[in-house]
Chains A and B, each alone.
Chain A
């Protein structure tokens, strides 16, 4: 089955520790995205990538880093600089990011990150 796989489902971070969330897709999508979801708020964009070896900051990129070395993979690192990392993190992908061929973003099932 084609889809987006996020791992792990639950993750705990200690003070001063960096942690990396995995996102893999086999949909052959060009664009990938990372969002953060907090209770009572809409999804907020952390980083996105339109092609391999290129990525852009979203609205709340501080304290996060990403890489896009392969089309299928877009890992997110939550660094110790992110002071409030407890949230539900969602990865998404889509076929296009131009305005003339809008396509929906498809999501993985998320990683819940908590502080120890």
Chain B
């Protein structure tokens, strides 16, 4: 399949370990954040989101942490599986006023799960 990104930061973990993927966002006015997973040759798949009035949200095997003080977002994946291997990237939502908002996407981190 095609690579969705060359020279991306890579996180290599053993199957069964927990993974933590980090993201620094750019704008303190951003009010909504999303994590996506992208497998090679496919479109991004929604994983989990969090609003700025929260600092933690949990899903199935995933947890997102938001630290607004340092503009940092992290995605924790419990008991990482080979099927979790993909590029993960965060997106921040910036409201531009009226009826317009935009998502700003990070470049991504490649998660490589070793069996």
Nearest CB of chain B from residue A24's CB, rounded to whole Å: 14
Q: Known contacts A40-B5, A99-B31, A104-B49; decide if A110 and B99 are in contact (CB<8 Å).
A: no
Prevailing SS type, chain A contact patch: loop
B43 engages A107 (CB within 8 Å)? yes
Question: How far, in whole Å, are A6 and B7 apart by their CA atoms in the complex?
Answer: 27
A71 at interface (Cβ–Cβ under 8 A)? no
A98 to B4, CA, bound (A): 30
Of B10-18, B76-84, B104-112, the stretch lying at the interface with chain A is: B104-112
CB neighbours of B107 from chain A (8 A): 40-42
> Does B68 sit at the interface, judged by CB under 8 A?
no
> What does the 1/0 interface line of A83-115 toward B look like (CB < 8 Å)?
000001010000001110010111111101000
With A and B bound together, what is the CA distance between A40 and B45 in angstroms? 18
The chain A residue with its CB closest to the CB of B52 is: A102
Q: Chain A contacts of B49 at CB under 8 A?
A: 102, 104
Expressed in whole angstroms, the Cα–Cα distance for A40 and B103 within the complex equals: 18
B36 CB contacts on chain A under 8 angstroms:
107
The smallest C-beta distance from A3 to any residue of chain B, in angstroms, reads 10
**Is there a chain A Cβ closer than 8 Å to B57's Cβ?**
no
Q: In the complex, are the beta carbons of A112 and B104 less than 8 A apart?
A: no
> Size class of A's contact patch?
20 to 34
Q: Does A43 contact B (CB under 8 A)?
A: yes
- Contact in complex: A102, B31 (CB < 8 Å): yes
Decide yes or no: A102 and B5 within 8 Å by CB, A42-B106, A42-B108, A109-B43 being known contacts: no
Residues of A bordering B, CB below 8 Å: 4, 6, 35, 37, 39-43, 45, 50, 56, 58, 88, 90, 97-99, 102, 104-110, 112
Q: What are 14 pairs between A and B in contact, CB < 8 Å?
A: A4-B43, A35-B105, A40-B6, A40-B107, A42-B108, A43-B103, A43-B105, A45-B103, A56-B100, A98-B99, A98-B101, A107-B45, A109-B42, A110-B43
The 5 closest A-B pairs by CB, nearest first: A107-B43, A42-B105, A99-B95, A102-B32, A39-B6
Binding site for A on B (CB under 8 A): 2-8, 31-32, 34, 36, 41-46, 49, 51, 89, 93, 95, 99-108
Could you list 16 further interchain pairs (A-B, Cβ under 8 angstroms) beyond the known A42-B104, A90-B44, A109-B42?
Answer: A6-B43, A35-B105, A40-B107, A41-B5, A41-B107, A42-B107, A43-B105, A56-B100, A99-B95, A99-B101, A102-B31, A102-B93, A102-B101, A108-B43, A109-B41, A110-B41
